[in-house]
Chains A and B, each alone.
Chain A
């Protein structure tokens, strides 16, 4: 039972354009959501997070949107850069300090 789903295994975007990565969840108890970025042979790196009391959080080129009624969140990267090419995981937890439930990841490729 996959509680956090990333239905697009891969995404290809041209440099300078917007990348939109999507994530859906099923557990209505989740109240904290995170995005991680992972390069090959490295551990996941924290990117940005959002709590359920917000619907948007922005950090530089990265913005996370949360739609609680749809149980959906998305990560926008604009403008996309070749160095953004990596696997992106969304994750969720039911409360602070609780375990993270990860999605299966989306491989983003940004081409020149």
Chain B
């Protein structure tokens, strides 16, 4: 009965590859987010979708493309992976009042 789930939990890949991370929430929330936690542990917003519409895009390179097929899913596709993309990516969701519920994270390592 996981509230916000992400797959995969770990992802190791070579530079230049394209990869996707999936996120699903079963809380009935209408807003979903992607955050990146870098090596310095800064947790920063990347994207936010409300009812499948993009509402926040924090100057993320266009190699990153979020896709929201429905309110319960927000996937993150990354093209031409670079070393600097190595980080932990967290998905989150909320209904209102900014109480965001986070997934367990996906640790991406680019070699």
Contacts and interface: CB of A to CB of B under 8 A. Distances in A.
Interface of A: 32, 34, 36, 41-46, 49, 87, 89, 93, 96-102, 104-105
Q: Please classify how large the interface on chain B is, using the bins under 10, 10 to 19, 20 to 34, 35 or more.
A: 20 to 34
15 contacts: A32-B97, A34-B99, A41-B104, A43-B103, A45-B102, A46-B100, A46-B101, A96-B96, A97-B31, A97-B94, A99-B48, A102-B42, A104-B40, A104-B41, A104-B42
B50 A97 contact: yes
Nearest to B44: A102
A64 B16 CA distance: 45
B11 interface: no
Nearest to A43: B102
A93 B105 contact: no
Contacts of A99: 33, 45, 48, 56, 58
